[in-house]
Structure 1
């Protein structure tokens, strides 16, 4: 990998923001900032919750590394602002970011492409009546998952084991947004797989198998404990690993993603069939994060990963070209 750091110019690491994932974003941003500076990049922290985006142009930033997670960071809004400012950025463009942030739209796209994803029911506020909630388990079976369609990091997510749990689960999800996504629960192993690159050049990194205490891979266990076990290499049969990587690449391309992303899946225990859950277009870069872990297994250090992602920063109109002199 040969990247000319001098061509990067002044770089803004976008972190913090206004979403429910602000604290995680700050952790990601600090890690990326330190990594880029260690490689000689003229990198600076920039929090859109505290500063006007127009300052990016006024202060002469040449490109942005997006470590914002969730709304107003991962949903196409910041990407659209950077398109208007003409400042290249890491990760997918406006449309792919917006679709991937919406779990219902993502499912619709994947289903249209023939990709496996758990069955679901989406409830508008008007549909969240006692009678309708009792009908959802009849459609999807029990247990099932209830979650907000536009949040990440397992925020607002509940596992519903019985009819009596539905009301509380929907109420928790509705605290974050009006619509509620109810999803078939897939009993089995949880895995995740990152992707780097664009179009035909995109490649899937090694699969990570996740082993959480009592199967609870929640916000607390993701970021603030060391109880979760991550297996990379995954220990899965080679054919299963290849199939997961194939599915993840197909899911990434179906949404028009570029730069990088990470798809989460469940492998159904009964028949070992993998199901796509969601795709993250601005994955975490904290000490507990999974893309750096997978990259290390592929021989790519955290610092080199950050530099490679920054080199690929682009605008929608130039996304087919890798910037920054990467070879």
Structure 2
């Protein structure tokens, strides 16, 4: 079995699994100085875009293509390449289709989609000027496109709204929800979908604290919230998108409203994937490989499910004990260190809360 992987930044997360499966790995990357280029069996440096990867896939006669892209801008090009390569050459591409990417990459279209399928989302309006504001303050101001908290502002006063419009001509204005931030991964392939355990990312703040700076835990345990509701809602969203790969969804639970609100959905690997793996034993990136080799199924996922307590802590630079090889796998480790130097995080797991606290103390 030969698989083409597109993008090297995330490849070290799955290199150990690709080797374990005996898969011949081919990788394309547009940056000749990128990390992880020493790991695959073959590497091809290609121009930006999807024409280069497509040509390499045909030249190398690969059996499947797995894009490992964790940012939004290239996803639409990947989606168009997927539809062309699958239709004309019969090579499966484990990625979202054009319809799903176009819908999820635009926050306004995503809002409309939630309403169409009957999933609750915070009240919103499209602002072309501060004077059009009708929602009660505070509100969250966003652009239609963007990720990782980019161009998002929590506006507490009308002056905050006016300040936002010093930079932007339009804004998606959303009611600020006071409550718990929740993330969940859904895996989907060939019409089968499975929602993994929800992850707790902390409480919302008027300061707009970025999730990377918060301590996160799995599984999600929020008073008044049924995790089955989160999984059912996430499954409903993915099923209606009708695409393949990883779906990462953000929700907010308001204790005041006793309501789960859908915030956004992304068709790419996400930042809580280590916590999800630590919590339930299912690695979403490895499942992309299983989709490529025809080994993904609800039954196989069910057989892998484990139940752990986990946490992810931002630490800057990790100086504790070294994990076992492979260092990005929880198969022989109870913790994984990830993230770039200066912004590293530790994700740890244990079979009880007490054991987890003791492990964290040892690692810190």
The equivalent residue for 1:113 is: 117
Q: 1:267: how far off?
A: 0.6
- Say yes or no: does 1:83 pair with 2:83: yes
- Say yes or no: does 1:143 pair with 2:138: yes
**Which blocks of at least 5 consecutive residues in structure 2 are unaligned?**
32-45, 301-364
Q: Relative to 1, partners in 2 of residues 1:297 and 1:163: Cα closer, same or farther, differing over 3 Å?
A: same
The equivalent residue for 1:270 is: 256
Q: 1:179: how far off?
A: 5.0
Q: Relative to 1, partners in 2 of residues 1:199 and 1:324: Cα closer, same or farther, differing over 3 Å?
A: closer
Q: 1:231: how far off?
A: 1.5
Partner of residue 296 from structure 1, selected from 275, 278, 302: 278
Residues 38-47 or 146-155, more deviating? 38-47
Q: 1:290: how far off?
A: 0.9
Q: Relative to 1, partners in 2 of residues 1:79 and 1:191: Cα closer, same or farther, differing over 3 Å?
A: same
CA contact (8 A) 1:32 1:306 kept: yes
- Say yes or no: does 1:324 pair with 2:321: no
| CA-to-aligned-CA distance 1:98-122 (integer Å, 9 cap, x gap) | 2111111111111011110112222
CA contact (8 A) 1:213 1:228 kept: no
CA contact (8 A) 2:187 2:194 kept: yes
The equivalent residue for 1:64 is: 65
Q: Relative to 1, partners in 2 of residues 1:181 and 1:67: Cα closer, same or farther, differing over 3 Å?
A: farther
Match runs of 1:220-231 below 5 Å: 221-222=211-212, 227-231=213-217
Partner of residue 161 from structure 1, selected from 150, 156, 159: 156
- Say yes or no: does 1:182 pair with 2:173: yes
| Greater RCO (CA < 8 Å, at least 6 residues apart) | 1
**Larger-Rg structure:** 2
Structure 1 Cα separation of the partners of residues 163 and 16 of structure 2: 41
The structure with the greater share of residues assigned to strand is 2
The equivalent residue for 1:250 is: 236
| CA-to-aligned-CA distance 1:173-225 (integer Å, 9 cap, x gap) | x4xxx75322111111111111122476312111111126956442xx52xxx
The equivalent residue for 2:23 is: 41
| CA-to-aligned-CA distance 1:139-185 (integer Å, 9 cap, x gap) | 2221111112121111111111110111332455x4xxx75322111
SS state at 1:274 partner = strand
Q: Relative to 1, partners in 2 of residues 1:119 and 1:238: Cα closer, same or farther, differing over 3 Å?
A: closer
Alignment size in residue pairs: 273
| CA-to-aligned-CA distance 1:266-309 (integer Å, 9 cap, x gap) | 1113132110000111022xxxx212321331222x4xx43321
Structure 2 Cα separation of the partners of residues 299 and 163 of structure 1: 46
SS state at 2:233 partner = helix
Q: Relative to 1, partners in 2 of residues 1:199 and 1:88: Cα closer, same or farther, differing over 3 Å?
A: closer
Q: 1:325: how far off?
A: 4.0
**Which blocks of at least 5 consecutive residues in structure 1 are unaligned?**
1-6, 16-25, 314-322
The structure with the greater share of residues assigned to helix is 1
Structure 1 Cα separation of the partners of residues 71 and 263 of structure 2: 16
CA contact (8 A) 2:121 2:261 kept: yes
Structure 2 Cα separation of the partners of residues 169 and 81 of structure 1: 37
The equivalent residue for 1:20 is: none
Structure 1 Cα separation of the partners of residues 204 and 226 of structure 2: 24
CA contact (8 A) 1:33 1:44 kept: no
Tell me which stretches of 4 or more aligned residues in structure 1 moved more than 6 Å: none
SS state at 1:140 partner = coil
| TM-score under structure 2 length normalisation | 0.67
Partner of residue 192 from structure 2, selected from 201, 210, 235: 201
Q: 1:246: how far off?
A: 1.2
| TM-score under structure 1 length normalisation | 0.73
Q: Relative to 1, partners in 2 of residues 1:35 and 1:198: Cα closer, same or farther, differing over 3 Å?
A: closer
